[in-house]
Structure 1
């Protein structure tokens, strides 16, 4: 059996392709660098994170990008001996995460690009610019060799439908650009918010798969078909072929934004994004994740779930493929190699050497103090996804600040407006000390601080966080000492898409990692000797 979700933690907008016996899924990364996550499987049950293809400034530079902008909805295909990766780099989407305006709430900047590679691990080419008319681009390879770009069309005009349909335009490989007339081939259904197009050809029919209802609780997968590429497209008799809409009992919610793959024996599987809400708060701190399940083609030529209920499955039947397990991800990283472990990412910049080093002090991750936490430019924050509702994370930091503008520590982070940060700093009255800063959404006073905890003037400090669904606890200990727990219980449920003010984009998920700031501009560094992340079962008192 397949246990869903197969890609746990923030891994939305899946695009799947099979090449021989290998399956690959690309997912969105938004403002986290490098761009796009590519995952690999040979049995659709066991998956590993394999690569991130957008690794250099010529492919992706997100400096200044607002929270939840950056890389949206990649599309991964294979044809003509090449992997083709389409992605959107979003530069503006309405309001900032802190509630301030970024300009007109109706105007958006979506730039769509294409990169290619003969191998999945790259290197990938410099990008070809395609258009900026909307987001969720995908590339369709027709059986006559011609290629077509599809994307959602954005309409900023007042009083209309912002999600103005799915447009199709031919792509010329020889000219490396779009050619011919752009056509609107599908304007959606009353569910609205039509996006995420993927096109397939089967038995002489063109099948168009889209997402509708928005990427929250009303999300769903819609299908239409035509015997002519350019339409008109008739709607599936069930309209929505998979959704958790109006099904609060479903353990996988927010299901939508899907893609299809054919197995070696001709079976069809659908990947789609989903969310697992906290039981007590109903928010999805793990972000939008990726699930998969088998589908069936009916005698009428339409695709449906196997049981006909159109519901996402927590457990799904696996194809009859040989089991292929991968080595388990290590719980502890000691930073003993010159490369950052693949589980970790940073924010926005294609110049990581400005933020951190793994060679300046071998065996340590050195962060150089840069801009304030939440900065949209150079923020020295390195983190990994939260992938379970119950986990422990710990690190040890060597950091001797000289004043209050210098900070370093352990952070549970969603974006610049939602985080809990356990950090070491210094001031003239207390000296070196420890405290927590929380940035809380939906509050007039967005920043909250705990009372300072005095520390010795020097020496390493271990930092730890325990998370049980919405409960979050911080602890620390000095070398040779016992763990000391801060008395506060922090609210982990704010680290979610749903915990936000109206109009703010929130499309990522919770991370846990390390950070360092030096707002004086002196770039004082902090050295982290290890980082440990362990998932566990529910615990009534994780500090015991």
Structure 2
């Protein structure tokens, strides 16, 4: 029997929605303010997963310019009915204070690879929408209801309303079918039908260390729903430091052989209370009791290793971690902040063999940053690039960045100083407080410069070398005489667990260019090499 190693999708992959169509399994996860929207993965054995093209790849489907940190795409739901894939998602415009502006949309496609349709607006009454297709051919929209009024339960219940697929509109009354349990923060509804019951799966307890998955059931679609007497069905043990934490927000799938699995989010603290990789996706095997209640095998706490189904599949080769930018398009792991890839700020052709980024807005902008990055999926890794960039003044910068959001990042950048000329330095933002930890930037000679970041769990060290230094890319840069710049930095603030500001994404590492003068000076990156520590995934 095969064994599933959790998390199956390491790094920032929260809010999984899992689906089986024939022999194929798919998972959709949230992307928040990162573009393109919704990460899709495919498998045939539940062990090995490959990334698919993202379904929301154009601005007409997803306009996030100006979306706040941890806004954008929340909790997508993937389903299949009537010969088409259906994907529901929220584009969150505001979330702090009493109000949340949460607009829900539906796109569909005949094939999972697309093309996906233009979006159908649904409602804005709450977030975490999902679509349930009943045995009689009807379809139903669910979402949590947000109540902004003072003194009320903001998580006011789960709304259910019929969706007419032919007419592409909601119809009929809205039913509040479930107001949650004492755990509170009732969200992320998914409906399933089995053995004459409707099963409602929700997330409760908040998406932190008290997170949980609740199951309730009813003989009638609109309820009333009775809660599993052992609730919560899934949660984490905060006293077990080596356990997967924050377990909750689950969805269910029945494998081809009749086994059941739960895909859920989880997190792994690097140090106490700090999860730099963000919320990840794990799988747990499930069993049904004789009286038709769902149980997590070995639960209710999640397991690192889970028995897989008796399936065999040779997964396609993963995209290489080293990108020389010689391909006509970008690898699927690349993402940008809020705006689509287009030639107004990014080009692979203007200087062949290079990624050209045209200087955009600052790192605290929620509009037009020129930043291209990939998820951090390992806690021991080296990241390297070679940069051609010749700034005219201090408002022009480019380099290598580890980025959580506009409040938290660490940046090794090339710029120009009135006294030093072209130079290299470090910028840091911790919880929105800007800092330059070096007493003085390092002057650079003419020509390209190599930049490298070495991460060992929460400790980061930056290095640089002349651009003409040669190394062996198959031997982790051996042969290059790297010079450290600055002292090791504790970057555990790049995490979900900000004490004053709830947020939901994860750390990215990538390339960026700023031109605060508005001239749009370009920076050319010749390569990007992401090198995990040998034989390690992350811990």
Does the alignment reach a TM-score above 0.5?
A: yes
- Is 1:79 the equivalent of 2:81? yes
- Is 1:369 the equivalent of 2:359? yes
Which residue, out of 145, 151, 156, partners 1:164? Answer: 156
- Is 1:174 the equivalent of 2:166? yes
Q: CA deviation at 1:340?
A: 1.2
Which residue, out of 517, 521, 526, partners 1:524? Answer: 521
Q: Distance in 2 between matches of 1:412 and 1:60?
A: 25
Q: Distance in 2 between matches of 1:466 and 1:450?
A: 18
Structure 2: 5+ residue stretches without partners: 470-479
Q: CA deviation at 1:119?
A: 0.1
Which residue, out of 83, 89, 92, partners 1:90? Answer: 92
What is the 5 A alignment of 1:292-311?
Answer: 292-307=283-298, 309-311=299-301
Normalised to the residue count of structure 2, the TM-score between the two structures is 0.95
Q: CA deviation at 1:477?
A: 0.4
What is the 5 A alignment of 1:19-98?
Answer: 19-94=21-96
Q: Considering only aligned residues, what root-mean-square deviation do their CA atoms show, in Å?
A: 1.4
- Is 1:283 the equivalent of 2:274? yes
**Match of residue 125 from structure 2:** 133
Q: CA deviation at 1:237?
A: 1.0
Q: Label 1:272 to 1:224 Cα distance change in 2 as closer, same or farther (>3 A).
A: same
**Match of residue 510 from structure 2:** 513
* 8 A contact 2:50–2:315 mirrored in 1: no
Segments ≥4 residues shifted beyond 6 Å:
none
Q: Label 1:356 to 1:193 Cα distance change in 2 as closer, same or farther (>3 A).
A: same
Q: Distance in 1 between matches of 2:272 and 2:234?
A: 25
**Match of residue 7 from structure 1:** 9
Q: Distance in 2 between matches of 1:17 and 1:486?
A: 47
Q: Label 1:213 to 1:275 Cα distance change in 2 as closer, same or farther (>3 A).
A: same
**Match of residue 311 from structure 2:** 321
* 8 A contact 2:284–2:297 mirrored in 1: no
Q: Distance in 1 between matches of 2:499 and 2:302?
A: 29
Structure 1: 5+ residue stretches without partners: 95-104, 540-544
**Match of residue 97 from structure 1:** none
Which residue, out of 103, 108, 118, partners 2:100? Answer: 108
Q: CA deviation at 1:342?
A: 1.0
Which residue, out of 131, 138, 146, partners 1:154? Answer: 146
Q: CA deviation at 1:457?
A: 4.7
**Match of residue 423 from structure 1:** 413
Q: CA deviation at 1:246?
A: 3.8
Which residue, out of 195, 200, 219, partners 1:203? Answer: 195
SS in 1 for 2:232: strand
Which residue, out of 473, 485, 501, partners 2:461? Answer: 473
After superposition, what is the alpha-carbon deviation per residue over 1:507-530, rounded to whole angstroms, capped at 9, x for unaligned? Answer: 000000000000101100000000
**Match of residue 181 from structure 2:** 189
SS in 2 for 1:429: coil
Q: Distance in 1 between matches of 2:355 and 2:52?
A: 22
Name the stretch that deviates more: 31-40 or 320-329: 320-329
Q: CA deviation at 1:249?
A: 3.6
**Match of residue 393 from structure 1:** 383
**Match of residue 542 from structure 1:** none
Q: Label 1:24 to 1:364 Cα distance change in 2 as closer, same or farther (>3 A).
A: same
* 8 A contact 2:437–2:486 mirrored in 1: no
SS in 1 for 2:492: helix
After superposition, what is the alpha-carbon deviation per residue over 1:35-89, rounded to whole angstroms, capped at 9, x for unaligned? Answer: 0000000000001111200011110010000110000000001111000000000
Q: Distance in 2 between matches of 1:482 and 1:382?
A: 27
What is the 5 A alignment of 1:210-289?
Answer: 210-278=202-270, 280-289=271-280
- Is 1:461 the equivalent of 2:457? no
* 8 A contact 2:238–2:245 mirrored in 1: no
- Is 1:405 the equivalent of 2:374? no
